[in-house]
Amino acid sequence: MDLSDALDFPQQNNQQAGGAVWPGQPANPTWPGQPVNPTWPGQPANPTWPGQPANPTCPGQPANPTWPGQPANPTWPAQPNQPAWPGQPGQPTAPGWPGPAPQTSPRALTVPFDLPLQSGIYNKMLITIAGEIKLNANNFTVNFKRGSDIAFHLNPRFNEGGRQVIVRNSMIGNQWGREERELPSFPFVPGKPFELKILCTDTEFKVAVNKSHLLEYKHRIRELNQIRDLSVYGDVTLSSVNVETLQ
């Protein structure tokens, strides 16, 4: 006789759903007379305190309480619904930090135009003159001056005996020197904008118009620090005159 015979376990009840159970015991036992989901005697399935509603609140408190005087959807005092950084529009497309307002286009400069050059001219000094040629232009002039002397006279002429020419010269001691006139092209057009760049080096002025090199003019006054005045006059309007130093 083995141990199961000695205990007289019915063999057919030894395995229920893969494990042993006590003899005569159902798969999910309960206490005698106990319902499947017990509650306290007289207690409903979902008990509450006596007289308590299903969703209790403090006495006298509304269902969605707020602080006294507080609106239903509070915000910080004086805070807009769509906050923005200072200086940023209410509906920004990208974050913006506080900063200076965008610069507007410069106003047209008065012609004749005069610009003092406090330290004179020097190597790698670049002057950029931007504007527009008048529709019925005859000529205009750019002068670099040392007192009453003119170190560099640049004079585009639109109709000199039926020709277009750019005259370059210097006047020293009230005497004009030898003119330089020859050029392969004349880049200025009446009624059209222009950009004139003049670069000073130790030996000459280099001139470019509308981003194309035009000419060179050798210094006839070599005391460059004494050339302290730039003037523009004639049949042009000016939008900007800029002075910078190339690196």
Lowest-pLDDT choice from 23-32, 93-102, 192-201:
93-102
DSSP 23-60: TT--SS---TT--SS---TT--SS---TT--SS---TT
Lookup: tokens for 18: 């893969």
pLDDT-derived band at 159 (thresholds 50, 70, 90) equals very high
* Predicted structure pTM score: 0.58
- The two tokens of residue 62 are 């509304």
Beta-strand relationship, 163-172 and 149-160:
antiparallel
Give the Cα separation of 200 and 243 in Å (integer): 11
> Three-class SS of residue 5?
helix
- The stretch 12-40 carries a mean pLDDT of 48
Q: What is the DSSP letter of 109?
A: B
Give the amino acid at 98: P
Q: pLDDT at residue 14 above 90?
A: no
In the predicted structure, residue 73 carries a pLDDT above the cut 90: no
pLDDT at 18 over 80: no
Question: How sure is the predictor about 65, in pLDDT bands with cuts at 50, 70 and 90?
Answer: low
Half-sphere exposure of 36 (CA within 13 A, CB side): 3
Whether residue 120 contacts residue 226, with contact meaning beta carbons closer than 8 Å, is answered with yes
Helix, strand or coil for residue 219? coil
